[in-house]
Amino acid sequence: MIAEEKLNPNEIIDNGREVIRIEAEAIADLQHSINEDFVNAVETIFTSSGRVVLTGMGKSGLIARKIVATLNSTGTAAIYLHPTDALHGDLGMVRSEDVVILISKSGETEEISNLLPMLKRLNVKLIAMSGNKESKLAKECDIFLNISVKEEACPYDLAPTASTTATLALGDALAVSLLKKRNFTAKDFAFLHPGGSLGKRLSLKIKEVMITGEKIPRVNTETSIKDVIIEITSKRLGTTCVLDENGKLAGIITDGDLRRLLEITLDITGLKASDVMTTRPKVLKADYLASFALQQMENFKITSLVIVDDKNQPVGIIHLHDLINLGLQSR
């Protein structure tokens, strides 16, 4: 039966801060591992015509999976290989042109040690990520990346804590270094992330989401204010385009403009759209990114933008709420 240790709130806070301190120091100390071995690892992966295969047992395996995900999303093809499954057929997924990264804090993990001879027969490049440079793993691999830490955050030095954090950070360092070496751009990132808010923010264009056709609220400069109110109300966007005699955008009227008008006078008889409209409103072209439209709305504190063509004729309208609903909130 586990004995319960009673901690007061201050002790809980102190414990939490101590964990963060230990792990932060582990990452800071990791800078010493960014050396010629790290350069060799980056160059080896970069020049390889194959994939990066990561393997590790237990917590190291979980960290390996996260590094695989980061590499794939930043332009370096990677897969995870479970060391036990590798010895029962999955080794067939490894090709001679691949680079294999083996993760083990001790460097003596049995499953990893058993896998080493099989990998060496395939003549693949081997990179060890270990905290023990004298280990079998470190000595058998072509490149050794040191993930040693002074102490684990676990008070019994049992649960991998600081060491897994350090390993993850070193994996990120590899991924980002490769990203820069490949000149991997935001456009490339968008191509690999077509779904979710990241993909949308980097690739979704205004023309793909704007309101078009008969749904665009529009009146002309001679339209009565009564009919302007009807148009704004019926289209439910809180605004309407005002067009001149050539169908070009002359201005806009928002529900805010109407409220301010009615605060001044309730007599709208004889008033026309041209008397109330805002001239030279903010507009965009349809080929701009939707995320840029959102940024413009937030910067100018407006809720909609008219989308115009090269002749300054409205071809669409885009509303703040529609962009937010798409998950395009700026960071």
Structure confidence by residue, pLDDT tens digits, 11-54: 999 999 999 999 999 999 999 889 999 999 999 999 999 999 99
Structure confidence by residue, pLDDT tens digits, 198-237: 666 667 889 999 999 999 999 999 999 999 999 999 999 9
Q: What residue ranges do the domains of the chain occupy?
A: 9-184, 206-325
Comparing 224 with 192, the larger pLDDT belongs to 224
d(CA 198, CA 216): 28
Q: Which residues contact 87 (CB under 8 A, 6 or more apart)?
A: 111, 114, 115, 118
Closest CA to 291 of 186, 180, 220: 186
Average pLDDT (161-190) is 91
138 within 8 A of 130, measured Cβ to Cβ: yes
Under the banding of pLDDT at 50, 70 and 90, the label for residue 290 is: confident
307 within 8 A of 286, measured Cβ to Cβ: yes
330 pLDDT above the threshold of 90: no
7 pLDDT above the threshold of 90: no
195 pLDDT above the threshold of 70: no
Structure confidence by residue, pLDDT tens digits, 91-103: 999 999 999 999 9
Report the pLDDT value the prediction gives residue 196, as an integer from 0 to 100. 60
84 pLDDT above the threshold of 80: yes
Question: Which CATH number is associated with domain 206-325?
Answer: 3.10.580.10
Structure confidence by residue, pLDDT tens digits, 120-161: 999 999 999 999 999 999 999 999 999 999 999 998 888 899
Report the pLDDT value the prediction gives residue 267, as an integer from 0 to 100. 86
d(CA 124, CA 81): 14
d(CA 158, CA 151): 10
Under the banding of pLDDT at 50, 70 and 90, the label for residue 247 is: very high
Domain 9-184 and domain 206-325 have a common topology: no
3-state helix, strand, coil in the chain (%, to 5): 50, 20, 35
Mean pLDDT check: name the lowest of 83-92, 114-123, 187-196, 216-225: 187-196
186 pLDDT above the threshold of 80: no
Report the pLDDT value the prediction gives residue 197, as an integer from 0 to 100. 61
160 within 8 A of 147, measured Cβ to Cβ: no
184 pLDDT above the threshold of 90: no
CATH fourth-level superfamily of 9-184? Glucose-6-phosphate isomerase like protein; domain 1 (3.40.50.10490)
Whether the predicted model's global pTM rises above the 0.75 cut: no
